[in-house]
Structure 1
Amino acid sequence: MGVYALTLAGSNYFAPIISGFIAEGQGWQWVFYWPAIFNAVTLVLLFFCLEETNYNRASPVEGIQGIDPKEEDSSKEGFTVQPSVAPDGAGVRKKSLAQRLSIWQPSPGQNMLVRAKRSLTYLSWPVIFYAGFSYGSYLIWFNVLNATASIILGGPPYNFKASMVGLSYVSCCIGVIVGSVVSGRLSDWLTIKLARRNNGIMEAEHRLWPFAVCLVMVPGSLILWGVGAAHEVHWFGLIFGMGCLAFTSCVGVTISVNYLIDSYHDISGDAIVTVILIRNTMSFAVGYG
């Protein structure tokens, strides 16, 4: 999960570094043109090079009728499991290139509407809703930072150029790297230590203790960013606040998802959909509300 948070948050904080130089050298319009070109090339590569890997590996269970209990051992059940694939690989037909690239795959699986309804049902589960709300809260702080960085650093008394505003996000990248280490390995170490103190029983709530760091650093970083800019503190104070806020965002995202997975491991796939739904709703509401 630390790697997941590093990839998610790190990409968001690394993009402004490149965008600053693009805006200064080619104009702000090319900040949107280059991602569009990149997405178009990626679409072609994914379509032709990334095959569908979704596969239902459940083995069908076929009942056997007419078994006499007197003739069979009482310990044996009245059914057998028939493997979907022959042990020697016989009967397996390799798909053609057109079949592998096909958009429609008639593979057995769960109905999409059923899974969507299930994800909405999970909104009433406290742990899942809390994980989504926590995840969304840390994304909101990123939106606040993103929306005000150019205004604060590009205006007086700092008067940063577009490239320098972009380079200020190097602090965020460093914070994300440190946060991924803290929320990954150190979080696992703390959870194991707490489980040993709890007679060897690991509880999902043991994941929540690192939130104590976020409880102090998030408001401190926001105060340093907002109040510091209002009082025209040295630019290093603002850059330091950006790094601390990025650190807490990485830690908060990782712990929120870890808490969900440890609580509901078997349904974590569908539960993550609910978490993302809450996260995106909060991000859109704050960004455009």
Structure 2
Amino acid sequence: MVWTAYSRSAGEWYAHRIILGFVASPIESLPEVSVPDVFFAHERGLYMAIYVFTLFTSNFLAPLIAGWFALAYGWRWTMHFGAMICALAFVILFFGMEETIFFRHSFEGVVAENQAPSENSCTGSQEGKNEGKDTMLEAIQVPSNAPSTQAKRSYLQKLIPFVRVTGRPSNKQMFRAMYLPLVILVKFPSVAWAGFIYGINLSWYMVLNGTISPIMSAKPYNWSTGYIGCVYVGPIIGAALGALWAGQVADKLALRSARRNGGIREPEHRLIPLALSAVLSAVGLITWGVGAANDVHWVGLIIGLGILVFSVVTGGSIALAYNVDCFKDISGESTTSVIIVRNTMGFAVSYGITPWYTNMGVQNCFITAGMLALASTSTFLLMLWKGKALRRFSAPTYWKYGKMASGLHE
């Protein structure tokens, strides 16, 4: 951040962007992986939604603050201010989130050693439970010498940057974890779909971010940098409502569906709230694009942005929670797979949005985007129909990779 403030060439700019991307990348995976480690299945939707809300809202608060800050002190001091925030965050994280890592040699849904998975496990159904049961039992058996406890460490011991923990993965397992997310995308269709849903919703965020400034700074609005930052108030409100819908409401709907399903909870039960998200993403994009093309009042544009962000947060939250629900015990690797797809799609759209609306026109561009959003998110209907079959297809591979992830063998 400090180097950014002293940039004098394009080469420098690319260099510190690469460094920032490298050091900021853990936020793209560690929080998502931590949520299923800390919360139960019926709580994951809520806390995953809170994470996604915080992630996107921080991106909306930044321009809101930076716009006025840049007007008052210049853009270079905005970078210094960001560096101060990073320094404060470092102190909070280092002293407030000490290392508590623990390697659990068990599987979600497994009651005890050598017992079958519960009905809320990977396959999630009673039908065909004998099929592949032996494979699952073989995969989940925990050796008698597997470590189950470890000595409690003091607060100061938890602050040590590097420590050898009982049951830690071997170097071979760590290396495998680097390439396994790419393999998972091929062998686990449900994970690839979750990445697609998260990616398409991030794409609409990129569309929003890439068009707010050109549209609001041009006629008839002619807004300054500070006022353009205020546009993000609408998305912040939309993000909060989206988090509530994808979290609290989706969790309750999933539990209600489980009761109707004889007490068996399926990951697909979480997807039902995407119906509203599919419609509102199209409404938000069309409202923003058609409104801007026809010079509607700025209030209408902000409402459109709020509606769009509601769907962005809903789609991202549900995609992450669905991925974990499907394959909890490889959630670290599978979440990385989701992020790979998400970031690839977001990267492509961030570079393509400007020529898209420039060549097609703002109105036609956003009508097309709205239809794409509706069609893309509506693929959840396909997952409601075939999601269980896809998970059954991946089940043998899941137990194999789960055993690797748990450290039960090399």
Do they superpose with TM above 0.5?
Answer: yes
- Correspondence for 2:281: 218
Q: Which amino acid aligns with 1:5?
A: V
Long gaps (5+) in structure 1: 60-78, 87-91
Tell me the SS of whatever aligns to 2:322.
helix
Structure 1 residue 81, shift from structure 2 partner: 5.5
Larger RCO of the pair (alpha carbons < 8 Å, separation 6+) = 1
What residue identity is the alignment partner of 1:116? M
Tell me, in whole angstroms, the C-alpha distance in 1 between the residues paired with 2:253 and 2:92.
42
Aligned with 2:178 (options 116, 136, 142) = 116
Name which of structure 1's ranges 190-199 and 145-154 shifts more when overlaid on structure 2: 190-199
Q: TM-score normalised to the size of structure 1?
A: 0.81
How many positions carry a matched residue from both structures?
A: 264
**Per-residue deviation, residues 28-65 of structure 1 (Å, max 9, x unmatched):** 23333321232234335544665332233559xxxxxx
In the other structure, the counterpart of 2:363 is none
Q: Find the partner of 1:139 among 202, 216, 220.
A: 202
Deviations 1:67-113 (A, max 9, x none): xxxxxxxxxxxx96586668xxxxx596795x655443333522321
Q: Are 1:241 and 2:304 matched, yes or no?
A: yes
> Is 1:106 matched with 2:164?
yes
Task: Report if aligned partners of 2:105, 2:146 keep a CA contact under 8 Å in 1.
Answer: no
- Contact kept? 2:278, 2:311, Cα under 8 Å: no
Q: CA offsets per residue over residues 179-199 of structure 1, 9 Å max, x none?
A: 111111111222222233333
Match of 1:16 in 2: 63
What residue number does 1:276 align with?
A: 339
CA 1:267/1:29 → structure 2, altered by over 3 Å: closer, same or farther? same
Structure 1 residue 20 displacement after superposition: 1.6
What is the distance in 1 between the residues matched to 2:146 and 2:315? Answer: 45
Supply the distance in 2 between the matched residues of 1:56 and 1:189 (Cα, whole angstroms). 30
Partner of 1:34: 81
Taking structure 2 as the reference length, the TM-score comes to: 0.59
Aligned residue number for residue 259 of structure 1:
322
- Opposite residue 51 of structure 1, the aligned amino acid is E
Deviations 1:7-37 (A, max 9, x none): 1222122222111211221122333332123
Quick one: distance in 2 between partners of 1:106 and 1:180? Answer: 38
Q: Name the residue aligned to 2:72.
A: 25
Deviations 1:142-162 (A, max 9, x none): 111111111111221012222
Identity level (%): 42
User: Partners in 2 of 1:85 and 1:193 — Cα distance?
Assistant: 37
Larger radius of gyration: 1
CA offsets 1:108-130 (integer angstroms, 9 cap, x no match): 52232111122221111110001
Once the two structures are superposed, what CA deviation does each residue of 1:152-176 show, in whole Å capped at 9, x if it has no partner?
A: 1122101222222111111111111
Q: Name structure 2 gaps, 5 residues minimum.
A: 1-47, 107-142, 353-410
Aligned CA distance change for structure 1 residues 43 and 198 (closer, same or farther; 3 Å): closer
Distance 2:257 2:97 in 1: 42
- Aligned Cα root-mean-square deviation (Å): 2.6
In the alignment, which residue of structure 1 is the partner of 2:261?
198
Q: How does 1:166-185 map to 2 (within 5 A)?
A: 166-185=229-248
| 1:232 and 2:290 matched | no
2:262 is paired with a residue whose SS is coil
SS in 2 for 1:51: coil
Are 1:2 and 2:49 an aligned pair? yes
Cα distance in 2 for residues equivalent to 1:235 and 1:84: 60
Contact map agreement 2:67 2:228 (CA 8 A) in 1: yes
Give the corresponding residue for 2:387: none
**Is the partner of 1:104 in helix, strand or coil?**
coil
**Correspondence for 1:73:** none
Task: Give the helix-richer structure, 1 or 2.
Answer: 2
